[in-house]
Amino acid sequence: MMGHVFSRPEKFRMYRIELFHEIETLGINSLPIIAIISLFMGAVITIQAAFGFTSPWVPLYAVGVTTRDSIILEFSPTIVSLILAGKVGSNIASEIGTMRVTEQIDALEIMGINSSSYLVLPKILACVIINPFLIIISMFLGVFGGWVLGMFAHVITSYQYVYGLQFEFRPYNVTYALIKTVVFAFIIASVSAYQGYYTHGGALEVGKSSTKAVVYCDILILLFNFILTQLLLA
């Protein structure tokens, strides 16, 4: 299906309109849930790290280091992508699956439109473009949430936390996280679109395709998370 999507694209003007629509639907509308999860995720990591570092040999600024690396390396790119697979993936699969069972895709084919390219390519481009921005926002909010709620819970001071954030920071970690994000975004959009595009039957099958899309996306994200970590960090 991917070969058909990229082999005979339609006019750029058609994609431009759909691309901005998909960026809003799949990306911007996901921002509230990502913001809430990231804030509390950073807070929980900070409190758990402070609770675990009870040895006097471990400086308290290590809490900031732990929160920073956990958020950037794993939680924001991977956990948030798994959440997006549930929200965005089911949306894509159900939308395209509904079009398939109501014969709207057949109507596009009759009009001479490359239906797979017209329906799938804007979704893939939208996810690949907007997801890295969502992950960057998630990183910032995760670190910010750990700082605010860590001080509110009196487990660390502002100076110790900020010093830990700056301690031996490696910019490559952010690059690594964004590379993973782009791969995960492609997986979410393409796998979900595939499940929806080849749906057959009625409303019940649309629901099954949506469920399979989320399950397969999660499995592939975890698999490629291991592969990319081995390639980029080993």
pLDDT at 137: 95
The larger pLDDT score, comparing residue 114 to residue 226, is at 226
The larger pLDDT score, comparing residue 79 to residue 10, is at 79
Q: What is the largest distance, in Å, between two alpha-carbon atoms of the chain? A: 73
Rounded distance between C-alpha atoms, residue 54 and residue 58, angstroms: 7
Burial status of residue 175 (CB atoms within 10 A of its CB: 0-12, 13-18, 19 or more):
exposed
Give pLDDT tens digits for 76-128: 999 999 999 999 999 999 999 999 998 888 888 888 788 888 888 899 999 99
State pTM to two decimals: 0.90
pLDDT at 8: 67
pLDDT, mean of residues 39-56: 84
Residues whose CB falls within 8 Å of the CB of residue 200, separated by 6 or more in sequence, listed in order: 100, 101
Query: Which of 113, 114, 122 shows the shortest CA–CA distance to 95?
Result: 122
pLDDT at 127: 94
Rounded to 10 degrees, what is the CA torsion of 169, 172, 177, 179? 170
Give pLDDT tens digits for 66-85: 999 999 999 999 999 999 99
pLDDT at 230: 92
pLDDT, mean of residues 51-60: 76
Query: Among 50-64, 79-93, 185-199, which stretch is predicted with the lowest mean pLDDT?
Result: 50-64
Structure confidence at residue 157 as a pLDDT band (50, 70, 90): confident
CA distances (Å), origin 221, targets 29, 35, 184: 22, 21, 6
Rounded distance between C-alpha atoms, residue 191 and residue 110, angstroms: 25
Structure confidence at residue 211 as a pLDDT band (50, 70, 90): very high
pLDDT reading at 7 higher than 80: no
Q: What percentage of the chain carries pLDDT values higher than 70?
A: 98
pLDDT, mean of residues 166-175: 91
Average pLDDT, the chain: 89
pLDDT reading at 37 higher than 90: yes
pLDDT at 116: 84
